[in-house]
Amino acid sequence: MELSKKVQSMQNSPIRRFNVYSLEAEKNGKKVYHFNIGQPDIKTPPEFMEAVKGFNKDVLAYAESGGSVDLQKAICNYFSKFGMSIEPKNVMITNGGSEALSMVFTSILNEGDEVLIAEPFYTNYHTFITAAGGKIVPITTKAEEGYKYAVKEKILPLIGPKTKAISIVNPGNPTGYILSREEMKVLVDIAKEKNLWLIADEVYREFAYDGREMTSFGQFEEVADRVVIIDSVSKRFSACGARIGCIVTKNEDLCGAVMKIAQGRLCCPTLDMIGAAAMYGVDPSYFDAVKKEYENRRNVTYDELMKIPGVVCQKPGGAFYIMAKLPVESTEDFLVWLLTKYDNNGETVMFAPAAGFYATPGLGKDELRIAYCLKAEDMKRGAELLKLGLEEYKKQGNK
Ligand SMILES: Cc1ncc(COP(=O)(O)O)c(C=O)c1O
């Protein structure tokens, strides 16, 4: 039996596809520091569990396809704190930011349509865009150039008749790059001039460090008809397993299109929406504490990485990822070696090899992505294992 060309051209996620090796290592008694996945160890606000425990209906019924009104209202209230006036009809609740992205790309792309996105990018965009029949056109960025991409001269030559959207992750995963307001305006102007959608994935909105301002593309009223915000409770509230995200847009045609897909998949989980609505009511001090914690984890991770001879990396301004170039030919080979052949006092470390975070073939082979969402002492030890492992890898004659 034949599989579709679409699915054949997809990749397995470099964040998860090496789990077979880590599971085997763990089965054999090794401790593995999981720097590969953005799964924070920060406690989920207790408001989530309390709200779920308070559910007292006799039937766990389907919910509305667009999401529960309570959750939509809680999200509108959250956005009002950023000076954005959003109504429940502008908010479509989804099964995580992942489903939000799939639904949006399915709604706006025809076969062969192109989406501009700065590479390296969150690897699963490959899957979402390919499944929707689209093609990624990368705006290539480099650590050495500070991952800057919102530059007219860099972007305009990439736009052609098939370009439908500019997709932005801000703060960035995997680079941690944060756009300044001026850079956001450059993208807004291009979208307006070239009649493009602006897909703004802002799931890391709160995680902006060193006094950087938190902002949103939803604040640019002049492009309200073309901005689509992707959001999620996964990282904001350390609630990845809740699988609750949303699409926020004032474009009514897109709301209508997404609703068709939403009705086809019926609804999001009723209990998770109840818990998520309660989390949006947490005291704002929750975010201050979490942000401070991540900022410290970033500092520790960056300082440790800089102790590795030959490493190239930029200190990220936000989110909780760091990209680094290592003096090896293939970070994928190095990772498999770390998981299958190496340990230091029974411990090893896992990261995501970065080639899958690029669309340009050949780029990223000597790079890795680290998620610094484990506690600082774990980040320090894991980064030390990376350094010790690399020394041993080289000593054994590997390139
Ligand atoms: C940039 C970005 N967008 C979207 C997602 C999807 O997250 P979720 O489906 O858990 O909301 C992630 C998850 O890591 C992400 O990093």
Structural domain boundaries in the chain: 5-43+285-395, 46-279
User: How far does residue 204's CA lie from ligand 1's centre (Å)?
Assistant: 9
**Residue 215 has what pLDDT?**
85
Mean predicted confidence (pLDDT) in 248-262 = 98
What mean pLDDT do residues 264-284 have? 96
Measured in angstroms, how far is the CA atom of residue 305 from the centroid of ligand 1?
Answer: 25
- The per-residue pLDDT for 58 is 97
For residue 45, what pLDDT is reported? 96
Average pLDDT on 349-374 reads 96
Q: How far is the CA of 206 from the centre of ligand 1 (A)?
A: 14
* pLDDT surpasses 90 at 321: yes
Residue located via tokens 């997709």: 167
Find the 343 Cα to ligand 1 centroid distance in Å. Answer: 31
Which pair of tokens denotes residue 384? 């030390």
Task: Return the sign of the alpha-carbon dihedral for residues 238, 239, 245, 248.
Answer: negative
Strand partners, 89: none
Q: How high is the pLDDT of residue 348?
A: 97
Judge whether 135 and 282 are in contact, CB under 8 Å: no
User: Span 244-272, mean pLDDT?
Assistant: 98
Question: Can you tell me which atom of ligand 1 is nearest the CA of 99?
Answer: 9
- What confidence score (pLDDT) does residue 102 get? 98
Beta carbons within 8 Å of 231's beta carbon, 6+ residues apart: 75, 97, 100, 202, 203, 205, 245, 246, 247, 248
Q: What is the model's pLDDT at position 214?
A: 80
Residue whose CB lies within 8 A of the most ligand 1 atoms, among 34, 117, 121, 124, for a mutation test:
124
* Centre of ligand 1 from the C-alpha of residue 233, in Å: 9
Residues 6+ apart with CB under 8 A from 23: none
Question: What does pTM read for this prediction?
Answer: 0.95
Q: Work out the average pLDDT over 272-278.
A: 98
Q: What confidence tier does 179 reach under pLDDT thresholds 50, 70, 90?
A: very high
Q: Is the pLDDT of residue 273 over 90?
A: yes
Is 90 exceeded by the pLDDT of residue 322?
yes
84 CA distance to ligand 1 middle (Å): 22
The one-letter code for the residue type at 165 is A
Measured from CB, residues less than 6 Å from any atom of ligand 1 are 38, 96-98, 122, 169, 173, 201, 203, 232, 234, 240, 245
- Residue 284, pLDDT score: 84
Confidence (pLDDT) at 213:
82
Q: Is the pLDDT of residue 173 over 90?
A: yes
pLDDT (0 to 100) of residue 144: 87
β-bridge partners, 324 = 368
Share of the chain above pLDDT 70, in %: 100
Structure confidence by residue, pLDDT tens digits, 128-172: 999 999 999 999 999 888 999 999 999 999 999 999 999 999 999
Whether residue 352 is predicted with pLDDT greater than 90 in this model: the reply is yes
Q: Per-residue DSSP letters for 18-34?
A: THHHHHHHHHTT-EEEE
pLDDT at 268: 98
| Mean pLDDT within 113-118 | 98
Q: Which CATH architecture has domain 5-43+285-395?
A: Alpha-Beta Complex (3.90)
Mean pLDDT of the chain: 96
> Rg of the chain over CA atoms, in angstroms?
21
Q: Probe ligand 1: pick from 37, 121, 122, 168, max atoms within 8 Å of CB?
A: 122
**35 pLDDT tier (thresholds 50, 70, 90):** very high
HSE of 197, CA atoms in CB hemisphere, 13 A: 26
Q: How far is the CA of 232 from the centre of ligand 1 (A)?
A: 7
Q: Which of 207, 234, 372, 373 to mutate to test the pocket of ligand 1 (most atoms within 8 A of CB)?
A: 234
Predicted confidence at residue 304, as pLDDT, reads 95
Q: Which CATH architecture is the domain 46-279 placed in?
A: 3-Layer(aba) Sandwich (3.40)
Distance (Å, rounded) from C-alpha 127 to C-alpha 344?
36
Q: What is the pLDDT of residues 205-254, one digit of tens each?
A: 999 999 998 889 999 999 999 999 999 999 999 999 999 999 999 999 99
